[in-house]
């Protein structure tokens, strides 16, 4: 229960203490031992030699074919929630990328600005 608007929650106090003193680094690493390092390199796609990566997006884990770069939308496929990220192998990633649920991830190129079109007229 807060007594005033300046009272901090216990989590906020813990965060401030951790950032000031760096006490709990060992505790944080032990909690995150079951997670995947971002992004996890799984192998090279045969034929094109593009990298196959396992990434964590806003809706869960997905497999991506190719690097993120400007003007290029890499292909990707969602990983089922029944699969653990550490269980995804190169072979499983290939199955997902060759399946029917492959999408293009990322933002498409922006449309040309209207101002340039008006000046041309």
Separation between Cα atoms, residue 99 and residue 77, nearest integer Å: 8
Looking at the structure of the chain, the number of domains it has is: 2
Is 115 part of a structural domain of the chain? no
Residue 63 burial (CB count, 10 A): 25
Same domain, 14 and 41: no
Domain enclosing residue 70, as ranges: 36-104
pLDDT surpasses 80 at 116: no
Separation between Cα atoms, residue 15 and residue 13, nearest integer Å: 5
Same domain, 28 and 40: no
Same domain, 41 and 87: yes
Q: Give me the mean pLDDT over the 90-101 stretch.
A: 91
Is 97 part of a structural domain of the chain? yes
The tens digit of pLDDT for each residue in 49-73 reads 899 999 998 888 999 998 888 878 8
pLDDT surpasses 90 at 92: yes
Quick one: pLDDT at residue 43?
A: 93
Is 116 part of a structural domain of the chain? no
Same domain, 47 and 90: yes
Is 54 part of a structural domain of the chain? yes
**Banded pLDDT at 29 (limits 50, 70, 90):** very low
Separation between Cα atoms, residue 86 and residue 101, nearest integer Å: 21
């Amino acid at each position: 229960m807060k007594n005033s608007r300046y009272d901090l929650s216990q989590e906020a106090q813990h965060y401030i203490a951790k950032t000031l003193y760096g006490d709990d680094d060992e505790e944080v690493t032990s909690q995150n031992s079951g997670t995947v390092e971002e992004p996890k390199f799984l192998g090279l796609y045969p034929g094109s030699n593009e990298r196959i990566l396992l990434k964590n997006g806003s809706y869960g884990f997905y497999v991506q074919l190719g690097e993120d770069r400007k003007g290029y939308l890499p292909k990707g496929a969602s990983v089922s929630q029944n699969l653990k990220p550490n269980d995804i192998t190169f072979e499983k990633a290939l199955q997902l990328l060759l399946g029917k649920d492959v999408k293009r991830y990322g933002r498409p190129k922006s449309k040309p600005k209207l101002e340039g079109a008006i000046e041309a007229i």
